Chain A
Amino acid sequence: DQQVKQNSPSLSVQEGRISILNCDYTNSMFDYFLWYKKYPAEGPTFLISISSIKDKNEDGRFTVFLNKSAKHLSLHIVPSQPGDSAVYFCAALFSGNTPLVFGKGTRLSVIA
């Protein structure tokens, strides 16, 4: 049973527009949510995170929104740039020294 779901395998966005990547989760006990960016044949790189006690976190062009009642979070990238083209993984974490639980990823293509 997948606890973290990214239902859109791919997304195409025009350069300069907003990219919205969505993620749903089933376990309300997750304490922390993270977004990672991954290029082919490379390890994921951390982008932004949000604690379960917050509903928004912003870092430059990246903003993550958390809706706990809907068990839904989203990553907004604005403005989108061609270099943002990659696979984006949503991940969730319990308190303590536990591993990340990943979604399947969404491939973002930003078209110039």
Chain B
Amino acid sequence: GAVVSQHPSWVICKSGTSVKIECRSLDFQATTMFWYRQFPKQSLMLMATSNEGSKATYEQGVEKDKFLINHASLTLSTLTVTSAHPEDSSFYICSARDPSGGFGTQYFGPGTRLTVL
């Protein structure tokens, strides 16, 4: 079946540094990818919608200058957390929709655990 990968699976960084998370669709080309964030025991909160070749659409309350999204190709989207702070520590999950599969074929990556010290 379709696979979405994320790298790294976990990262620990110092406060003030930037961290890049990659999301790749391995079996299909994804014109749209989504970035979610999950706090412990909470639901998945949509952060932004990433469209290949255009600017990402951010949800209300998500700082676009802090969470930079680049969707440079049909199989890769990146999320960069700039000047990370401890409150950015979270589980970040990307997903990609297979356009050939119709509704319901949105696949999720395994997630990236970010810890900011």
A residues lining the B interface (CB < 8 Å): 31-32, 34, 36, 41-46, 49, 51, 89, 93, 95, 97, 99-105
Closest to A105 in B: B43
A-B interface, 6 closest residue pairs, ranked by CB to CB distance from nearest: A43-B108, A49-B104, A104-B43, A32-B103, A44-B108, A43-B110
Chain B binding surface SS class: strand
C-alpha gap A41/B105 in the complex (Å): 21
B residues lining the A interface (CB < 8 Å): 4, 6, 31-32, 34, 42-44, 46, 49, 91, 93, 95, 97, 103-111, 113
Asked if B44 and A46 make an inter-chain contact with CB atoms under 8 angstroms apart, the answer reads no
The answer to whether A104 and B108 touch (CB under 8 A), given A31-B103, A93-B103, A97-B97, is no
Between A and B, how many residue pairs show CB distances below 8 Å?
53
Asked if A104 and B110 make an inter-chain contact with CB atoms under 8 angstroms apart, the answer reads no
C-alpha gap A101/B34 in the complex (Å): 12
**B44 touches which of A44, A93, A97 (Cβ 8 Å):** A44
Asked if A45 and B49 make an inter-chain contact with CB atoms under 8 angstroms apart, the answer reads no
Asked if B34 and A43 make an inter-chain contact with CB atoms under 8 angstroms apart, the answer reads no
Can you name 27 A-B pairs with beta carbons within 8 Å?
A32-B103, A32-B104, A34-B106, A41-B91, A41-B113, A42-B110, A43-B110, A44-B44, A44-B108, A45-B108, A46-B104, A46-B105, A49-B104, A89-B44, A93-B103, A93-B104, A97-B31, A97-B32, A99-B34, A99-B46, A99-B49, A100-B34, A100-B46, A101-B46, A102-B43, A102-B44, A104-B43
